[in-house]
Structure 1
Amino acid sequence: MCGIVGAISERNVVPMLLAGLQRLEYRGYDSSGLALASADHFERVRAAGRVADLAAKADGHTALAGLAHTRWATHGAPTELNAHPHLGGDSVLIVHNGIIENHNALRTELQAQGYRFTSETDSEVIAHLVHHYLHRANDLLAAVQATVGRLTGAFAIGVLSRDYPDRVICARRGSPLVLGLGFGEQFFASDIAALLPVTQRMIYLEEGDLAELSRSEVRIFNAAGEAVTRQARTVDVAADSADLGHYRHFMQKEIFEQPTAIANTLQRVLELGCQSALFGPQADELFAHTPAIRIVACGSSYHAGLVARYWIEEWTGLPCSVDIASEYRYRKGREQDGTLIIAISQSGETADLLAAMRSARERGDVKVLAICNVPHSTLTRESDLLFLTQAGLEIGVASTKAFTTQLVALYVFAASLAHSRKTLNPAQLKDITEALNHLPVLVEEVLAMDSKLEAWAQELAHYHNALFLGRHTLFPIALEGALKLKEIAYIHAEGYAAGELKHGPLALVDEDMPVIACAVNDELLEKVVSNLREVQARSGKVFLLAEPGCEAAHEGCHRVLTLPAAAGPLAPVVLTLPLQMLSYHTACRKGTDVDKPRNLAKSVTVE
């Protein structure tokens, strides 16, 4: 959600701060601001709207230390007064990502001491608290440590003081922060993407850490206030990963990066086969003896989990449940000891997912397998087993390559679980594994059909509603297709299991309700055909995406697109791509902000 960048240097940091904010725009925001300090000046610059507006207002400003922030409104309207940085007294500026749950009590306490609040935000209490403790302790580090000890909730904060222009301080609890190490300059940010142009040497702060940055060094303290050392790592992500190249939007770029992302994710799999060793040294023992699987995830990752349930149950016979993380965390009940919790997240910092994972550990003797795209994230550090997808940096808010690589990872997991438990014979396991060899090429062939989906989008853009249908593993793909259309084209869309048509949704079908259906040549094809006939009998227009061999479903369809080849059990991966392209081109046709859809954020780090 909100983005944070901090820097202290021997050179002007303003261009670096603004460039960092621009690289965080994909996270979603509605206002932005800068806190700037040098020996002779201390100021803030804020703007509602885009970072470009802030850059215009900051033109000509210089500073040797500073903070930058993009805000996604939670408390208070998206106005300049509510934009960060917030001022404490007359000498402290702070930026904050997260939610302070006890802000009302703190506000009342601070107002009684004479502090005047100028915003509606929960964040402003942090600025006044730091000022209060700084006045008492005359030490910025001690003041920030005392402040974070008073805060309830989730936060990543940056602090700058007029009286200490030679240092900046940051701290995290429940929201991510990473330090960037340079020569004569140091940085921090809520996402490595902001720092890639200036350094690839990073330190991922642990839960509860606080860091003090000067030009020559960083000092890190844990939640108990003790000085600690955290490992510095070189991040192998190209700085140009956040550049558009010749593409019109990041979403378009990321759709077409999927063959590479899938191939990278499969690299070790194709070397080792679907083996438990891919998930960690404990995996074989855990896989062989777990009594049940529970998948927790949010958004598109939840849809990936729904697909995986079919594979897991069919290939292993184990019971598998799939939960929305924000619902699971508030459910009561105990987990069966030995249950394997699969936590799926692109960022590894999703607040609801982390809370759900921790809740699961409190409910029984469980183990956690993380499927994640970001190494060293909170999720990966707190898990017992790990499979890293190799999607690379994903900028577009609507997930594309992160989703398909999650599907691939879950497919590999299901096959590896079957291998450990010996629930498939060698021939079956070989067929499942070898299907992965052809997947990147098959994905390339589907992407070559882009112009045909663009033609469909010209028609779809005129509708206000849409239904997506699928059966078996394609039911979750219908949910994902509907989500994509909602997210970026702002068309109301719902995904359904096709067999559910008669149980309600059929009442909506008429000539103004396009129905996008997915079909494969399997034992359910005849039933899918029957469902489509129900739609056609009520004047509904069917847009059919089908694998070869589904000719029986073509009759009466308004539009038909036949994919180049059948993908077998990997059909959910392959059929996802045309739905992504269809939503993308529909959004372009409607003129929406494809990469930064309204009201949404890429990384949801608050509840």
Structure 2
Amino acid sequence: MCGIVAAAAQRDVAPLLIAGLKALEYRGYDSAGLAVLNGGEIRRVRAKGKVREMEGLYRADPFPGGTGIAHTRWATHGVPNTANAHPHVQGGVALVHNGIIENYATLRGELEARGHVFTSETDTEVMAALISERMVSGKSLLDAVSSVVHELEGAYAIAVVSDSEPGRVVGARRGAPLLVGVGIGENFLGSDAQALIQVTNKIIYLEEHDVVEITRDQVQVYGHDGKPVERAVHESELSKDAVERGEYRHYMQKEIFEQPRAVADTLEARISPNGVLPNIFGVGGDELLAKVKGLHIIACGTSYHAGLVAKYWIEEYARLPVNVEVASEYRYREAVVPDGTLFVAISQSGETADTLAAMRESRRRGYLGTLAICNVPESSVVREADLKLMTRAGPEIGVASTKAFTTQLAALGLLTLQLAHQRGLDGARYADLTAQLLHMPSMIEKALELEPRIIELSERLIHRQHALFLGRGAQHPVAMEGALKLKEISYIHAEAYAAGELKHGPLALVDEDMPVIAVAPNGPLLDKLKSNLQEVRARGGELLVFADGEASMDGNASRGVILRMDGGGDFIAPAVFTVPMQLLAYHVAVLRGTDVDQPRNLAKSVTVE
């Protein structure tokens, strides 16, 4: 959600800023802009729409300069238009901002009373005006920013330049990510490493309340008390190739097909044919997990669905109670925390605002400890957790998560096995579950072979306006994830239900215009599911059933298709059956001509409430 790039260099920075913004397009945005210090003045260009629209305006009238800031905006305060696009300029100060300033209306009213005139509806312009006012009173850019951020309520990551201090950029963060890219004779700020990998792989991850000043020769970070602090420089493992589409039409398609490798990487050196290896959750992890009497899993969106699958696994195999809740609800209620409860936060980015706030709130509520399952090693969620397990999915550019989900399931599978083994799961069953988890990458690989058939089936959905997804047991969250993917990128309204709930309401919607997609692995609930599907058939509904190859489905659907596949076993079937759901959503969206990687109104990393 929103993206920041800034640079202080001895070369023209506008092309670097534009390239950085393009690397951040996956985050979701509705306008873009950049500002460069040019000959003692601020030159700015902004445009509603894609980065390429703004780039075209810049190339029509380019301007040189070695210091600049740039931004992709996802609208919060004010509609998407050029006037509300960043950077915002007030009194020789230009500023870009991710986040939401909750007390901006009060601050704006005070500024207007002192004669300030605003040209946008944003909270961002208020910050620029406050900083400009402090500089007029004699403060340096660094001191002005440092004093203003203490007045702000809410979340922010900002980058600021001033026409009176060329060659200098000041940044600050609270509740939204911001990092420093360290170069040779040039330094940078960015929302994440992908924005900077084109220019440097040396990264400093700023901490909460940090303020940073960069010039082309120096980086200095200041802590909450305003005193200089040292922050470690990390070498990013990202590569330019990792964030390119290659032979694939869209990033989402590439990421769907990266899942076997990503899952294998997540399992590597963490599990053997004999079981889960020691201390994969960090120092003291095995000892802490042995004390667990229950779990609270907190997440958002796709990660929430992964948590729901884990609830079925952990309760069945480890016999521990599990509560799963969306982070935005959890943090605003007083949850009961039984003794010995482990708090588990699942997040692809590790910067999801609600999940991060929920984890911080958990400190007050007396949990046994916190575990982060995440894809970004230096993210806030990971840094603040007691235990962590990285998913090793690599960069995920498409807004609709795919490999994030299956790698999270792989990580949660490891957690399930560890908890189950510690609590005396039968040895033969533990060996079977271990073998299934080790085979998850190869079973996902086999599921990907269904793509040609799914391309044909996707034509059945392209003119539909609604779809219903059904699943039972651990496949119910898979149905939820399938419905989410379809609605996210194809804009077809889709809902998921536990199949047994069909007759309690959703059956009223079933007719010849309502396709019903069902997940049907072989297992003890299969006969129940088949009865639910007969109810759909009897009402003329068109069925698309993803069925285990060994499952008896009582003949062919009179209207619809049964697609056979191998789920790989009851434990890993949720991950394997997810893959055709992803492919179905992707190919329906392609046929409908939507923006697959950047669906409307959505952002990849939700860093505001």
Is TM more than 0.5 here?
yes
Letter aligned with residue 69 of structure 1: H
Tell me the secondary structure at the aligned position of residue 451 of structure 1.
helix
1:475, 1:517 → 2: CA distance?
10
Judge conservation of contact 2:521–2:567 (CA < 8 Å) in 1: no
The answer to whether the 8 A contact 2:342-2:367 is kept is no
Q: How far, CA to CA, are the matches of 1:500 and 1:394 in structure 2?
A: 34
Corresponding residue of 1:504: 505
Residue matched to 2:315: 313
| Structure 1 residues 230 and 428: CA distance shift in structure 2, 3 A | same
- The alignment-based identity, stated in percent, is 53
Aligned length: 605
Describe how 1:192-591 pairs up with structure 2 within 5 A.
Answer: 192-271=193-272, 273-275=275-277, 277-422=279-424, 424-556=425-557, 558-564=560-566, 566-591=568-593
Distance 1:539 1:226 in 2: 71
Amino acid at match of 2:412: L
Residue identity matched to 1:597: P
Residues 164-194 of structure 1 show CA distances to partners (whole Å, capped at 9, x for unaligned) of 0121010000000111000000001011111
Q: What TM-score, normalized by structure 2, do the two folds share? A: 0.98
Distance 1:471 1:334, change over 3 A: closer
Q: Residue 34 of structure 2 contacts residue 86 of structure 2 at CA under 8 Å; is this kept in 1?
A: yes
- Aligned partners of 1:509 and 1:2: how far apart in 2? 40
2:4 & 2:278 partners in 1: Cα distance? Answer: 38
For 1:310-335, what per-residue CA distance to the aligned partner results, in whole angstroms no more than 9, with x for missing partners?
11001111110100100001012442
Residue 23 of structure 2: aligned partner: 23
C-alpha change, 1:151 and 1:484, in structure 2 (3 Å) is: same
Shift, 1:39, TM fit: 4.1
Cα RMSD, aligned residues only: 1.2
Instruction: Tell me which amino acid in the other structure corresponds to 1:138.
Output: K
Deviation at 1:275, TM superposition (A): 3.9
Match of 2:63 in 1: 61
State the AA in 2 paired with 1:543.
L
- Return the offset for 1:58: 1.0
**Residue aligning to 2:596:** 594
How many Å separate the matches in 1 of 2:40 and 2:367?
58
Classify the secondary structure of the residue corresponding to 1:278: coil
Residue 90 of structure 2 is matched in structure 1 by 88
CA contact under 8 A between 2:343 and 2:367: conserved in structure 1? no
1:161 to 1:250, Cα distance in 2 relative to 1, 3 A? same
Q: Deviations over 1:403-456 (max 9, x none)?
A: 11001110110101112222x022211111111222211111111110100101
Please tell me whether the aligned partners of residues 436 and 568 of structure 2 are also in contact (alpha carbons under 8 angstroms): no
Q: Per-residue deviation at 1:285?
A: 2.0
TM-score (norm 1): 0.98
CA distance in 2, matches of 1:129, 1:531: 62
| Separation in 1, partners of 2:330, 2:277 | 30
SS of the equivalent of 1:87 reads: strand
1:299 and 1:57 map into 2 onto residues whose CA distance is: 36
Q: Distance in 2 between matches of 1:276 and 1:499?
A: 40
Counterpart of 1:220 in 2: which secondary structure? strand
- 1:4-19 to 2 correspondence within 5 Å? 4-19=4-19
> How far, CA to CA, are the matches of 2:2 and 2:64 in structure 1?
24
Paired with 1:426 and 1:39, the residues of 2 have a C-alpha distance of 73
> Which letter does structure 2 place at the counterpart of 1:360?
S
Choose 597-606 or 261-270, whichever is displaced more: 261-270
Residue number in structure 1 paired with 2:163: 162
Q: Which moved more, 1:187-196 or 1:360-369?
A: 360-369
| Equivalent position SS for 2:280 | helix
Instruction: Please list every run of 5 or more consecutive structure 1 residues that lacks an aligned counterpart in the other structure.
Output: none
Alpha-carbon distance change, 88 to 554 in structure 1, aligned in 2, over 3 angstroms = farther
Tell me the distance in 1 between the aligned counterparts of 2:98 and 2:326: 24
Q: Distance in 2 between matches of 1:485 and 1:219?
A: 46
What amino acid is the match of 2:358?
A: A
CA distance in 2, matches of 1:547, 1:104: 57
Distance 1:343 1:565 in 2: 27
Shift of 1:276: 5.3
Could you tell me which runs of 5 or more consecutive residues in structure 2 were left unpaired when the two chains were aligned. none
CA drift of 1:553 comes to 4.8
Which deviates more, 175-184 or 337-346?
337-346
Letter in 1 for 2:561: R
Look up the equivalent residue of 2:257 and give its one-letter code. Answer: F
> Once the 2 structures are TM-superposed, how far is the Cα of residue 289 of structure 1 from its aligned partner?
1.4
Give distance in 1, aligned partners of 2:312 and 2:598. Answer: 33
How far the C-alpha of 1:554 sits from its partner, in A, is 4.5
Q: 2:379, 2:568 → 1: CA distance? A: 36
1:583 partner amino acid: A
The 8 Å contact of residues 276 and 420 in structure 1, kept in 2 or not, is answered as no
* CA distance in structure 2 between the aligned counterparts of 1:262 and 1:50, rounded to whole angstroms: 33
1:2 equivalent in structure 2: 2
Partners of 1:180 and 1:200 within 8 A in 2: yes
Question: Would the aligned equivalents of 2:375 and 2:390 in 1 still touch at CA under 8 Å?
Answer: yes
Could you list the per-position Cα deviations for residues 197-245 of structure 1 after superposition, in whole angstroms to 9, with x for gaps in the alignment?
1100000000110100011110000111111000000011111211111
The whole-number CA distance in structure 2 between the counterparts of 1:63 and 1:49 is 25
Query: Does the Cα contact within 8 Å between 2:43 and 2:63 map onto a contact in 1?
Result: no
Query: Distance between the aligned counterparts of 1:189 and 1:603, measured in 2?
Result: 14
Instruction: Provide the secondary structure at the position in 1 that maps to 2:95.
Output: strand
Deviation at 1:41, TM superposition (A): 3.4
CA distance in 1, matches of 2:330, 2:123: 27
SS of alignment partner, residue 531 of structure 1: helix
C-alpha contact (below 8 Å) 1:360/1:366 kept by paired residues: no
Superimposed CA distance per residue, residues 332-381 of structure 1 (whole angstroms, 9 cap, x where no aligned partner)? 24422331011000000000001111122212243110000001100000
Q: Is the 8 A contact 2:568 2:576 kept in 1?
A: no
CA distance in 1, matches of 2:437, 2:555: 28
Per the alignment, do residues 450 and 584 of structure 1 end up closer, same or farther by CA in structure 2, a change over 3 Å counting?
same
Q: Write the distance in 2 (CA, Å) between the matches of 1:37 and 1:328.
A: 45
- 1:4: Cα distance to partner? 0.3
Shift of 1:88: 1.6
In structure 2, the CA distance between the partners of 1:547 and 1:333, relative to structure 1 (3 Å rule), is closer
In 1, the alpha carbon distance for the partners of 2:179 and 2:229 equals 15
Indicate the larger mover: 55-64 or 198-207.
55-64
Secondary structure at the counterpart of residue 270 of structure 2: helix
Structure 1 pair 137–563 and aligned structure 2 pair: CA distance change class (3 A): same
On the 8 A contact 1:335/1:360 being kept in 2, the answer is no
Matches of 1:547 and 1:464, distance apart in 2: 28
User: Which is worse superposed, 283-292 or 154-163?
Assistant: 283-292
SS of residue matched to 1:441: helix
